[in-house]
Chains A and B, each alone.
Chain A
Amino acid sequence: MLRTVLTGAAFSLALSAAAVAQVPEALPAQADATPAQVAAASPAIDHPSGTYALDPSHASVIWRVRHLGMSMYTGRFNGVAATLELNASQPSLSRLDVSIQTASVDTDHPDDEGDTPFNQTVANRALGAQAHPTITFASTGIVSADGVTGQVTGNLTFNGVTRPVTLAVTFNGGRLVLITQKYTLGFSARGVINRSDFGATAWSSAVDDAVEIIIEAEFHRQ
């Protein structure tokens, strides 16, 4: 798939050679704008409205937590699905729904504890995967003053607890990729949550409460 996309891209795209996306800063604050304010603050964008689905081959959900004050322990989720309903004329009326398989957490930990893979230990002990096999995010508000950077606020349901979370999002761009014939949108997002807000406090003496979230995502128009 990637090779196919790339071959097409090599013929079709007039991409800037220096196309390096700006990575947004993490945004821990909660947005509290009213829908009217949000709509006024989010100008139309020149991309086709409609339903977009995450391209999981070009998507990444990474989390990082500080370990013993010495390093940012880095893991990810490999099972991620998402749908974006894009309203291009009124982007603030767009809607994002994300679903993550809790047990798809992946740490590359080299040492398994006994017979239990460490990823399974993390899933069950730190993320509540047995009782709550899915982590979901449903947007409740999208705002962008310039159509490039903005904030997506939504309800994150994790470990059985639902709370509002705001992500700082950069819209990297959108275009028709000729070989796939799919209109593709690309985003980068950053956020910080306190895992204790969701009742997730495993290893809290060694691992900080704040969880950094680093998301890269491409979406295909359906």
Chain B
Amino acid sequence: MKLKLLAAAALLALTAACAQPAEAPVADAPAAPEAIAAIAIAAPAGVYTLDKSHAAVTFQVMHLGLSNYTARFTDFDAQLTLDPANPTASSVTATINPASVETDYAGDYRATHRGSAYRSWDEDLARNPSWFNAVAHPTISFQSTGLTLTGERTGTMTGNLTFLGQTHPVTLDVTFNGEHVPHPFRPGIAAIGFSARGTLNRSTWGMSNYVPNIGDAVNLIIEAEFHSAPGAVPEAAPAPAAPTPAETK
């Protein structure tokens, strides 16, 4: 994995100079490429853990061509290795418990699925081998392999997504939303927040149940705040931009 990351970093070093906006499917040769500089990041380098109270993993999939069926995972974790001096060298790992899928199914599942081996629609989704098959594959995991800048706060993160026992590359459009050094409610801790969007085809990982009546394309909507290790920020030197405790009470 380390080798893969090193290779990715080398590749990134080559491609960073010609990064293109993510939404520019232009066949013609692009205009003279211009290096994009990331906005300055004040948070210190290091390993950051997910603030699970301020994170969401939502997904949408088209249902019968009529609506974007919307669900989420409630049990997931992530780790950010932040390199503020060279942001594209930062990396992310994440895991999702597929059994934590939650749909808020409003109907009476037991009454309308009398032959089902499952007690609820969420359990059906989680455990059914045609869906998330969480007994055989209890963890969905993501390991970033590269990050290129598309703007001073935006980038394209590539990574390997392991799902249903198969690993395939995915691409996420990520946005650096903001940071607090220190976190206004947590002295000594730096906090940094991101949004990510992406689309994958679930059939790539072997989940083709009901395609196309339930769409193959899955839209991911991710929000995540990360916290540094305690003590990463000297408590006597709060950044002027962060709200004071009095403002946040």
Q: List the interface of chain A (C-beta within 8 A of B).
A: 1-6, 9-10, 13, 15-21, 23, 56-60, 62, 64, 66-74, 76, 78, 106, 108-111, 172-175, 177, 184-188, 205-206, 214, 216-218
CB-CB under 8 A for A1 and B195, given A20-B215, A74-B56: no
| Chain B residue nearest to A68 in the complex (CB) | B180
Q: Is the CB of B180 within 8 A of A70?
A: yes
Distance (whole angstroms) from the CB of A45 to the closest CB of chain B: 15
B106 at the interface (CB under 8 A from A): yes
Residue numbers in A under 8 Å from B68 (CB-CB):
21, 23, 60, 188, 216
| Chain A residue nearest to B55 in the complex (CB) | A71
Q: List 18 A-B contacts (CB under 8 A).
A: A1-B112, A2-B107, A5-B64, A18-B212, A23-B68, A64-B223, A67-B54, A68-B180, A69-B180, A72-B195, A74-B58, A108-B56, A108-B74, A186-B65, A186-B66, A206-B248, A216-B68, A218-B64
Residues of B65-101 whose CB lies within 8 A of A: 65-70, 72, 74
B213 at the interface (CB under 8 A from A): yes
Distance (whole angstroms) from the CB of B77 to the closest CB of chain A: 11
CA A2 – CA B105 in complex, angstroms? 10
B123 at the interface (CB under 8 A from A): no
Distance (whole angstroms) from the CB of A108 to the closest CB of chain B: 5
- Of A5, A69, A218, the contact of B67 (CB 8 Å cutoff): A218
Residue numbers in B under 8 Å from A58 (CB-CB):
63, 66-67, 69
Q: What is the count of residue pairs linking A and B with beta-carbon distances less than 8 angstroms?
A: 161
Distance (whole angstroms) from the CB of B23 to the closest CB of chain A: 14
Residue numbers in B under 8 Å from A16 (CB-CB):
65, 212
CB-CB under 8 A for A70 and B70, given A4-B112, A6-B213, A173-B65: no
Residue numbers in A under 8 Å from B193 (CB-CB):
67-71
Q: Is the CB of A72 within 8 A of B213?
A: no
Q: Is the CB of A15 within 8 A of B105?
A: no
Q: Is the CB of A216 within 8 A of B184?
A: no
| Chain B residue nearest to A62 in the complex (CB) | B70
CB-CB under 8 A for A70 and B210, given A58-B67, A188-B68, A206-B248: no
CB-CB under 8 A for A10 and B210, given A1-B112, A205-B243: yes
Residue numbers in B under 8 Å from A3 (CB-CB):
113, 116
| Chain A residue nearest to B58 in the complex (CB) | A74
B36 at the interface (CB under 8 A from A): no
CB-CB under 8 A for A9 and B64, given A69-B177, A71-B54: yes
| Chain B residue nearest to A187 in the complex (CB) | B67
Q: Is the CB of B195 within 8 A of A71?
A: yes
Chain B interface size range: 35 or more
B191 at the interface (CB under 8 A from A): yes
- Of A57, A66, A108, A216, the contact of B102 (CB 8 Å cutoff): A108
CA A16 – CA B223 in complex, angstroms? 31
Query: CB-CB contacts of B209-244 with A at 8 A, as 1s and 0s?
Result: 011111111000101110000000000000000010
Known: A15-B213, A18-B212, A57-B107. 12 other contacts (CB 8 A): A6-B214, A19-B64, A19-B65, A21-B65, A57-B121, A68-B225, A69-B180, A70-B193, A71-B55, A73-B54, A108-B72, A110-B52
Distance (whole angstroms) from the CB of A211 to the closest CB of chain B: 14
| Chain B residue nearest to A217 in the complex (CB) | B67
| Chain A residue nearest to B184 in the complex (CB) | A68
Q: Is the CB of A177 within 8 A of B64?
A: yes
Residue numbers in B under 8 Å from A106 (CB-CB):
104
Q: Is the CB of A15 within 8 A of B64?
A: yes
Q: Is the CB of B217 within 8 A of A72?
A: no
Distance (whole angstroms) from the CB of B201 to the closest CB of chain A: 11
- 6 closest Cβ pairs, A-B complex: A70-B193, A186-B66, A56-B106, A69-B178, A60-B70, A74-B56
**Most B Cβ at <10 Å: residue of A10, A15, A70, A108:** A70
